[in-house]
Structures are given as structure tokens and as C-alpha cells.
Amino acid sequence: MRVLIISDIHANITALDTVLAEAGKYDAVWCLGDLVGYGPDPNECITRVRQLPGIQCIIGNHDMAALQQLDSDSFNPEARTAIVWTQKSLSESSRIFLQHLPEKIELADVTLAHGSPRHPVWEYLLDTRTATYSFDFFDTPLCFVGHTHLPMIFSMNNSFYAATQTVPEANKTIPTPQRAILNPGSVGQPRDHDPRAAYAIYDTDSKTWEYRRVSYDVLAVQDRMREAGLPERHIQRIAAGW
């Protein structure tokens, strides 16, 4: 089965639709949370995601904040402005969809979590130290995470008892390590100084991972963000990828 892996769409329907058009054929889609927050199209993104084939989707911290399940004081002032805008913009049906998303999903070979398998909603896996601890918190060979908006692979070689970290090469199919935590990067707000949308293709039969990048119409999204009155800093950052 060919699975499209997407994460951190952040209410950017232009980036999402570009990814869906460029991904080729896929049998299922696994979405790693943060469908909303920052961007101008929360309802459009939720409508699109819920219609995808074989969809498995978990909740992210921005989705929880949009549902007022998290104290928005823990976000910086601009993020808070965007959260309040999202809360007001969400349709009832979007809200119900987000409310039913689980924090973690365990499939045959893969666990899905937004931040980390230890603290699914909040923890950032940015270094090998945090990643090493995380390997004790999932039982499947692989775990897919988002949240950092950075494409990354942490793998665990049992003889070392410490995780190693690699940044995968774009558009290259690689065998997944025996035991690893993989991050496809962010569809709607990449933070590795490359503004192109990021996603991955996971093949459940051949056990391969291909992380990919695709350009989308950033200007169109920036126009909609300005119209919506979203913070200028968030408008700027999607063009630069930070």
C-alpha cells in the first residue's frame, strides 16, 4: 500500500491541494495533526482532509487550541491572534471533526503522534537526546511525527542505545530503518528555510520512505492571510520557510 504522509497543513489549502495533485497515486493518507492555525483556510483544509481515501488523522496542539482545549496564553502574542481568528472562523462541522481526533494512533507497523510518542501533543523532537527517550514509548517498529515542521529521521540501532539523526535527501526513496521515528516536514508552513511544501510517501510493502518537496503559490495564500487580517509575521514566514 502506498501511503501519503502529511503533517502541519496549518490551514493552507493551496499547499495542501498542490501536494495532493503532485503525490501521484496513493491508497491511503495519514495526517499527523495541526490541520489549522496560522493559515487562512481552516474549514477548506478540514473538508479536504476528511474526504481523503483511507484517512487516519491525529490531533495537534494548534487543533486543540482552536477547540479552546488549550490555554492560548502558552502561545506567543501573534500565534494567539491567529488562534483567536481560527476559533471564530471554524464551522460547527469542522469543530466536530477536530473534537473526534485521537492523540495517537497505532497501526500494524507504525504509531502516529503529532509531537512525540511520549507526549503526543506537545513534545518537540529536535535532538537525539529527546528522541532516544521517545523510543521507549511506542511498540511498533516505526513512529511518524510532525510538530517541528522539519523533515527528519531518528533511528535506533540497538547496539548503541542512542538515537542517530539524519535529514533525508528530497525526492529519494530509501528503505526505512528497522526502528525509527520519521518526520515528513510541514505541508503549510515549512521551517527549514525552504518554503516549498513538504510531505512523504511510505510504502507499507517495500517499507520505503520518500520525502518530497513541491513549490506552490505562496503569494495567493499571503493575499488571503492579509484579507483575513492575520499577523504580518506569519504572512512573511511562509515565503521564506522559517
Task: List residues near Zn ion by CB under 5 A.
Answer: 8, 34
Of 114 and 177, which has the nearer Cβ to Zn ion?
Answer: 114
Of 34 and 192, which has the nearer Cβ to Zn ion?
Answer: 34
Name the minimum Å distance from CB 141 to Zn ion. 25
φ, ψ of residue 47 in degrees (nearest 5): -60, -45
Nearest to 37 by CA among 78, 96, 97, 73: 78
Name the minimum Å distance from CB 93 to Zn ion. 22
Name the minimum Å distance from CB 147 to Zn ion. 6
Of 8 and 210, which has the nearer Cβ to Zn ion?
Answer: 8
Name the minimum Å distance from CB 154 to Zn ion. 18
Which residue's Cβ lies closest to Zn ion? 34
Of 39 and 177, which has the nearer Cβ to Zn ion?
Answer: 39
